[in-house]
Structure 1
Amino acid sequence: MNYEIVHLDEKIVAGCCARTSNTAPDMGQVIGGLWQKFYSPDGHPAIPGRIGDKALGIYTDYADAEKGEYTVMVACEVSGADVPGFFVRKIPAGTYAKFIVKGHTVTAVQQFWQELWQMKLNRSFVCDFEEYQNADFENAEIHIYIGLQQ
Protein backbone atom coordinates (compact mmCIF):
# COMPACT_ATOMS: atom_id res chain seq x y z
CA MET A 1 0.00 0.00 0.00
CA ASN A 2 1.27 3.41 -0.91
CA TYR A 3 1.38 6.23 1.62
CA GLU A 4 3.04 9.55 2.27
CA ILE A 5 4.53 10.87 5.50
CA VAL A 6 2.79 14.06 6.68
CA HIS A 7 2.92 16.31 9.73
CA LEU A 8 -0.45 17.35 11.12
CA ASP A 9 -1.36 20.11 13.53
CA GLU A 10 -3.53 19.34 16.54
CA LYS A 11 -7.28 19.11 15.94
CA ILE A 12 -10.09 19.35 18.48
CA VAL A 13 -12.93 16.93 17.75
CA ALA A 14 -16.34 16.22 19.26
CA GLY A 15 -18.63 13.24 18.88
CA CYS A 16 -19.50 9.92 20.48
CA CYS A 17 -17.19 7.13 21.58
CA ALA A 18 -17.01 3.60 22.95
CA ARG A 19 -14.42 1.02 23.95
CA THR A 20 -13.97 -2.19 21.93
CA SER A 21 -11.37 -4.55 20.47
CA ASN A 22 -10.81 -6.25 17.13
CA THR A 23 -11.66 -9.61 18.72
CA ALA A 24 -14.86 -8.51 20.48
CA PRO A 25 -17.84 -10.37 19.00
CA ASP A 26 -19.85 -7.14 18.97
CA MET A 27 -17.13 -4.87 17.54
CA GLY A 28 -19.07 -4.28 14.31
CA GLN A 29 -22.23 -3.39 16.20
CA VAL A 30 -20.33 -1.06 18.55
CA ILE A 31 -18.67 0.86 15.73
CA GLY A 32 -21.76 0.79 13.51
CA GLY A 33 -23.85 2.03 16.43
CA LEU A 34 -21.54 5.01 16.89
CA TRP A 35 -21.94 5.96 13.23
CA GLN A 36 -25.74 5.67 13.52
CA LYS A 37 -25.74 7.84 16.63
CA PHE A 38 -23.42 10.38 15.01
CA TYR A 39 -25.71 10.78 11.98
CA SER A 40 -28.91 10.94 14.03
CA PRO A 41 -30.63 14.34 14.56
CA ASP A 42 -29.05 14.49 18.05
CA GLY A 43 -25.57 13.77 16.65
CA HIS A 44 -23.62 15.62 13.97
CA PRO A 45 -26.30 18.27 13.28
CA ALA A 46 -26.40 19.16 16.99
CA ILE A 47 -22.64 19.65 17.46
CA PRO A 48 -21.90 23.37 17.86
CA GLY A 49 -18.78 24.90 16.34
CA ARG A 50 -18.34 22.30 13.58
CA ILE A 51 -15.53 22.96 11.13
CA GLY A 52 -16.36 21.57 7.70
CA ASP A 53 -18.46 18.51 6.96
CA LYS A 54 -15.88 15.74 7.18
CA ALA A 55 -16.67 12.84 9.49
CA LEU A 56 -13.82 11.22 11.39
CA GLY A 57 -13.41 7.69 12.71
CA ILE A 58 -10.75 7.93 15.44
CA TYR A 59 -8.89 5.16 17.27
CA THR A 60 -7.03 5.97 20.51
CA ASP A 61 -6.14 4.64 23.95
CA TYR A 62 -4.48 1.43 22.84
CA ALA A 63 -3.76 0.90 26.52
CA ASP A 64 -4.20 -2.84 26.88
CA ALA A 65 -2.17 -4.51 24.15
CA GLU A 66 -2.85 -7.94 25.63
CA LYS A 67 -6.62 -7.54 25.14
CA GLY A 68 -6.22 -5.42 21.99
CA GLU A 69 -8.66 -2.85 23.34
CA TYR A 70 -8.95 0.71 22.09
CA THR A 71 -11.35 3.63 22.14
CA VAL A 72 -13.20 4.36 18.93
CA MET A 73 -14.77 7.75 18.34
CA VAL A 74 -16.97 9.04 15.54
CA ALA A 75 -16.59 12.80 15.43
CA CYS A 76 -16.07 16.00 13.51
CA GLU A 77 -13.56 18.78 13.95
CA VAL A 78 -14.79 21.67 16.13
CA SER A 79 -13.57 25.17 16.86
CA GLY A 80 -13.35 24.82 20.65
CA ALA A 81 -13.36 22.41 23.57
CA ASP A 82 -16.73 23.48 25.02
CA VAL A 83 -19.20 21.12 23.35
CA PRO A 84 -21.91 20.14 25.86
CA GLY A 85 -23.37 16.66 25.49
CA PHE A 86 -20.49 15.26 23.42
CA PHE A 87 -17.11 13.74 24.10
CA VAL A 88 -14.29 16.12 23.19
CA ARG A 89 -10.77 14.96 22.37
CA LYS A 90 -7.65 16.20 20.68
CA ILE A 91 -6.04 14.52 17.73
CA PRO A 92 -2.41 15.19 18.60
CA ALA A 93 -0.05 17.04 16.33
CA GLY A 94 2.56 14.72 14.93
CA THR A 95 3.85 12.62 12.10
CA TYR A 96 1.40 10.32 10.36
CA ALA A 97 1.43 7.91 7.44
CA LYS A 98 -1.36 9.10 5.14
CA PHE A 99 -3.15 6.52 3.01
CA ILE A 100 -5.88 7.27 0.46
CA VAL A 101 -8.56 4.61 0.18
CA LYS A 102 -11.34 4.64 -2.42
CA GLY A 103 -14.36 2.41 -2.84
CA HIS A 104 -17.34 1.13 -0.88
CA THR A 105 -17.12 2.71 2.56
CA VAL A 106 -17.33 -0.48 4.62
CA THR A 107 -15.42 -2.94 2.45
CA ALA A 108 -12.64 -0.52 1.45
CA VAL A 109 -11.98 0.45 5.07
CA GLN A 110 -12.11 -3.16 6.30
CA GLN A 111 -9.66 -4.24 3.61
CA PHE A 112 -7.34 -1.33 4.45
CA TRP A 113 -7.14 -2.28 8.14
CA GLN A 114 -6.52 -5.95 7.32
CA GLU A 115 -3.62 -4.94 5.07
CA LEU A 116 -2.29 -2.38 7.54
CA TRP A 117 -1.91 -4.99 10.28
CA GLN A 118 0.46 -6.88 7.93
CA MET A 119 2.68 -3.81 7.35
CA LYS A 120 5.77 -2.97 9.31
CA LEU A 121 5.22 0.68 10.22
CA ASN A 122 6.86 2.36 13.19
CA ARG A 123 3.43 3.07 14.71
CA SER A 124 2.97 5.17 17.83
CA PHE A 125 -0.39 3.59 18.80
CA VAL A 126 -1.44 6.99 20.18
CA CYS A 127 -3.98 8.04 17.56
CA ASP A 128 -5.05 6.78 14.14
CA PHE A 129 -8.00 8.17 12.22
CA GLU A 130 -10.10 7.98 9.09
CA GLU A 131 -11.21 11.22 7.44
CA TYR A 132 -14.19 10.78 5.12
CA GLN A 133 -13.86 13.19 2.19
CA ASN A 134 -17.34 12.69 0.75
CA ALA A 135 -20.69 11.20 1.67
CA ASP A 136 -20.89 8.75 -1.25
CA PHE A 137 -21.21 5.38 0.49
CA GLU A 138 -20.54 3.38 -2.69
CA ASN A 139 -17.65 5.52 -4.02
CA ALA A 140 -16.06 6.97 -0.92
CA GLU A 141 -12.68 8.63 -0.68
CA ILE A 142 -11.18 8.17 2.77
CA HIS A 143 -7.87 9.58 3.98
CA ILE A 144 -6.49 7.36 6.72
CA TYR A 145 -3.81 8.68 9.04
CA ILE A 146 -1.69 6.27 11.09
CA GLY A 147 0.30 7.83 13.94
CA LEU A 148 4.03 7.21 13.73
CA GLN A 149 6.71 7.31 16.40
CA GLN A 150 8.82 10.47 16.31
Structure 2
Amino acid sequence: MNYEVVELTEKTVVGITVRTRNNDENMPLIIGGLWQRFFADGIYQSILHKQNDCSIGLYSDYESDVDGLYDVTVCCEVSKFEGQPAEVAVKTIPPGKYAKFVVRGHMQRAVGEFWTKLWSMDLDRRYSSDFEEYQSGGDADNCEIHVYIAIN
Protein backbone atom coordinates (compact mmCIF):
# COMPACT_ATOMS: atom_id res chain seq x y z
CA MET A 1 0.00 0.00 0.00
CA ASN A 2 1.29 3.41 -0.93
CA TYR A 3 1.49 6.25 1.55
CA GLU A 4 3.18 9.57 2.08
CA VAL A 5 4.83 10.73 5.30
CA VAL A 6 3.30 13.98 6.60
CA GLU A 7 3.85 16.18 9.67
CA LEU A 8 0.61 17.13 11.41
CA THR A 9 -0.07 19.83 13.95
CA GLU A 10 -2.11 19.10 17.05
CA LYS A 11 -5.85 18.69 16.47
CA THR A 12 -8.68 18.98 19.00
CA VAL A 13 -11.65 16.71 18.38
CA VAL A 14 -14.96 16.14 20.14
CA GLY A 15 -17.21 13.11 19.90
CA ILE A 16 -18.23 9.88 21.60
CA THR A 17 -15.90 7.08 22.72
CA VAL A 18 -15.85 3.33 23.42
CA ARG A 19 -13.00 1.00 24.39
CA THR A 20 -12.40 -2.23 22.45
CA ARG A 21 -9.72 -4.48 20.99
CA ASN A 22 -9.14 -6.01 17.57
CA ASN A 23 -9.58 -9.62 18.69
CA ASP A 24 -13.00 -8.93 20.25
CA GLU A 25 -15.49 -10.71 17.98
CA ASN A 26 -17.96 -7.86 18.63
CA MET A 27 -15.46 -5.13 17.66
CA PRO A 28 -17.09 -4.42 14.24
CA LEU A 29 -20.52 -4.14 15.90
CA ILE A 30 -19.14 -1.94 18.69
CA ILE A 31 -17.49 0.49 16.28
CA GLY A 32 -20.41 0.39 13.81
CA GLY A 33 -22.85 1.08 16.65
CA LEU A 34 -20.78 4.09 17.72
CA TRP A 35 -20.94 5.55 14.20
CA GLN A 36 -24.68 4.86 14.05
CA ARG A 37 -25.24 6.63 17.36
CA PHE A 38 -23.06 9.59 16.30
CA PHE A 39 -25.31 10.39 13.35
CA ALA A 40 -28.71 8.96 14.37
CA ASP A 41 -28.72 10.66 17.78
CA GLY A 42 -27.81 14.04 16.26
CA ILE A 43 -24.40 14.25 17.92
CA TYR A 44 -22.65 15.22 14.67
CA GLN A 45 -25.14 18.04 14.12
CA SER A 46 -24.82 19.29 17.71
CA ILE A 47 -21.02 19.76 17.63
CA LEU A 48 -20.07 23.42 17.45
CA HIS A 49 -17.01 25.13 15.93
CA LYS A 50 -16.26 22.39 13.37
CA GLN A 51 -13.07 23.00 11.39
CA ASN A 52 -14.58 21.29 8.32
CA ASP A 53 -17.37 18.90 7.25
CA CYS A 54 -15.28 15.75 7.76
CA SER A 55 -16.06 13.13 10.36
CA ILE A 56 -13.20 11.29 12.07
CA GLY A 57 -12.72 7.81 13.47
CA LEU A 58 -9.92 8.21 16.06
CA TYR A 59 -8.03 5.29 17.61
CA SER A 60 -6.12 6.33 20.73
CA ASP A 61 -5.03 5.46 24.25
CA TYR A 62 -3.53 2.18 23.09
CA GLU A 63 -2.81 -0.33 25.84
CA SER A 64 0.11 -1.76 23.85
CA ASP A 65 -0.03 -2.63 20.16
CA VAL A 66 -2.36 -4.17 17.56
CA ASP A 67 -3.50 -6.77 20.12
CA GLY A 68 -4.24 -4.48 23.08
CA LEU A 69 -7.21 -2.39 24.15
CA TYR A 70 -7.71 1.06 22.62
CA ASP A 71 -10.29 3.86 22.54
CA VAL A 72 -12.36 4.54 19.43
CA THR A 73 -13.80 8.03 19.19
CA VAL A 74 -16.19 9.06 16.44
CA CYS A 75 -15.72 12.80 16.27
CA CYS A 76 -15.13 16.06 14.43
CA GLU A 77 -12.17 18.42 14.53
CA VAL A 78 -13.08 21.67 16.29
CA SER A 79 -11.47 25.08 16.71
CA LYS A 80 -12.50 25.26 20.38
CA PHE A 81 -14.16 23.05 22.97
CA GLU A 82 -16.27 25.70 24.72
CA GLY A 83 -20.03 25.35 24.32
CA GLN A 84 -20.02 21.71 23.21
CA PRO A 85 -22.86 19.36 24.20
CA ALA A 86 -22.48 17.59 27.55
CA GLU A 87 -22.45 14.08 26.05
CA VAL A 88 -19.26 14.61 24.00
CA ALA A 89 -15.69 14.04 25.10
CA VAL A 90 -12.66 16.05 24.03
CA LYS A 91 -9.56 14.31 22.69
CA THR A 92 -6.30 15.61 21.29
CA ILE A 93 -4.59 14.18 18.25
CA PRO A 94 -0.91 14.80 18.97
CA PRO A 95 1.37 16.55 16.51
CA GLY A 96 4.01 14.52 14.74
CA LYS A 97 4.87 12.25 11.86
CA TYR A 98 2.10 10.20 10.25
CA ALA A 99 1.86 7.82 7.32
CA LYS A 100 -1.03 9.13 5.22
CA PHE A 101 -2.99 6.63 3.13
CA VAL A 102 -5.82 7.52 0.75
CA VAL A 103 -8.56 4.87 0.68
CA ARG A 104 -11.41 4.90 -1.83
CA GLY A 105 -14.49 2.75 -2.19
CA HIS A 106 -17.40 1.50 -0.11
CA MET A 107 -17.04 3.09 3.31
CA GLN A 108 -17.06 -0.02 5.53
CA ARG A 109 -15.49 -2.47 3.10
CA ALA A 110 -12.64 -0.18 2.05
CA VAL A 111 -11.73 0.70 5.63
CA GLY A 112 -11.93 -2.92 6.79
CA GLU A 113 -9.67 -4.04 3.94
CA PHE A 114 -7.25 -1.20 4.69
CA TRP A 115 -6.82 -2.23 8.35
CA THR A 116 -6.35 -5.89 7.45
CA LYS A 117 -3.53 -4.92 5.05
CA LEU A 118 -2.01 -2.43 7.52
CA TRP A 119 -1.71 -5.05 10.28
CA SER A 120 0.55 -7.12 8.01
CA MET A 121 2.75 -4.16 6.96
CA ASP A 122 6.18 -3.55 8.42
CA LEU A 123 5.42 0.01 9.53
CA ASP A 124 7.21 1.53 12.55
CA ARG A 125 4.01 2.54 14.34
CA ARG A 126 3.92 4.78 17.40
CA TYR A 127 0.55 3.50 18.75
CA SER A 128 -0.40 6.95 20.02
CA SER A 129 -3.23 8.18 17.80
CA ASP A 130 -4.34 6.92 14.40
CA PHE A 131 -7.36 8.24 12.58
CA GLU A 132 -9.61 7.97 9.55
CA GLU A 133 -10.82 11.28 8.14
CA TYR A 134 -13.93 10.80 6.01
CA GLN A 135 -13.96 13.45 3.30
CA SER A 136 -17.25 15.23 2.82
CA GLY A 137 -19.31 15.03 -0.34
CA GLY A 138 -19.20 11.32 -1.02
CA ASP A 139 -21.75 8.59 -0.64
CA ALA A 140 -21.23 5.38 1.36
CA ASP A 141 -20.54 3.33 -1.79
CA ASN A 142 -17.95 5.67 -3.23
CA CYS A 143 -16.13 7.70 -0.63
CA GLU A 144 -12.61 8.95 0.00
CA ILE A 145 -11.00 8.38 3.38
CA HIS A 146 -7.64 9.76 4.47
CA VAL A 147 -6.08 7.43 7.05
CA TYR A 148 -3.27 8.74 9.26
CA ILE A 149 -1.09 6.26 11.17
CA ALA A 150 1.31 7.69 13.76
CA ILE A 151 4.87 6.57 13.03
CA ASN A 152 8.26 6.93 14.73
TM-score (norm 2): 0.93
Q: Hey, what does 2:102 align to over in structure 1? A: 100
Q: Hey, what does 1:22 align to over in structure 2? A: 22
**How big is the shift at 1:65?**
4.4
Return closer, same or farther for 1:77/1:137 CA change in 2, 3 Å cut-off. same
Alignment pair present for 1:125 and 2:100: no
State the secondary structure of the residue aligned to 2:63: coil
For residues 1-150 of structure 1, the aligned pairs below 5 Å read: 1-65=1-65, 68-82=68-82, 83-85=84-86, 86-134=88-136, 135-149=138-152
Q: Does structure 1 retain, via aligned residues, the 8 Å contact 2:66–2:119?
A: no
Task: Read off the aligned partner of 2:95 and give its amino acid letter.
Answer: A
**How big is the shift at 1:41?**
4.3
**How big is the shift at 1:84?**
3.5
d(CA) in 2 for partners of 1:25 and 1:7? 34
Which stretch shows the higher mean deviation, 108-117 or 58-67? 58-67
d(CA) in 1 for partners of 2:27 and 2:58? 14
Q: Which runs of 5+ in 2 are unaligned?
A: none
d(CA) in 1 for partners of 2:132 and 2:4? 15
State the secondary structure of the residue aligned to 2:50: coil
Q: Which runs of 5+ in 1 are unaligned?
A: none
Q: Does structure 1 retain, via aligned residues, the 8 Å contact 2:22–2:66?
A: no
Give every structure 1 segment of 4 or more consecutive aligned residues whose post-TM-superposition deviation is greater than 6 Å: none
State the secondary structure of the residue aligned to 1:7: strand
Return closer, same or farther for 1:66/1:99 CA change in 2, 3 Å cut-off. closer
Q: CA-to-partner distance for each residue in 1:44-69, whole Å, 9 max, x for gaps?
A: 00111122110000001111449521
Return closer, same or farther for 1:66/1:57 CA change in 2, 3 Å cut-off. closer
CA RMSD between the two structures: 1.4
d(CA) in 2 for partners of 1:51 and 1:107? 27
Task: Read off the aligned partner of 2:143 and give its amino acid letter.
Answer: A
State the secondary structure of the residue aligned to 1:96: strand
Q: CA-to-partner distance for each residue in 1:86-111, whole Å, 9 max, x for gaps?
A: 11011111000000000000110000
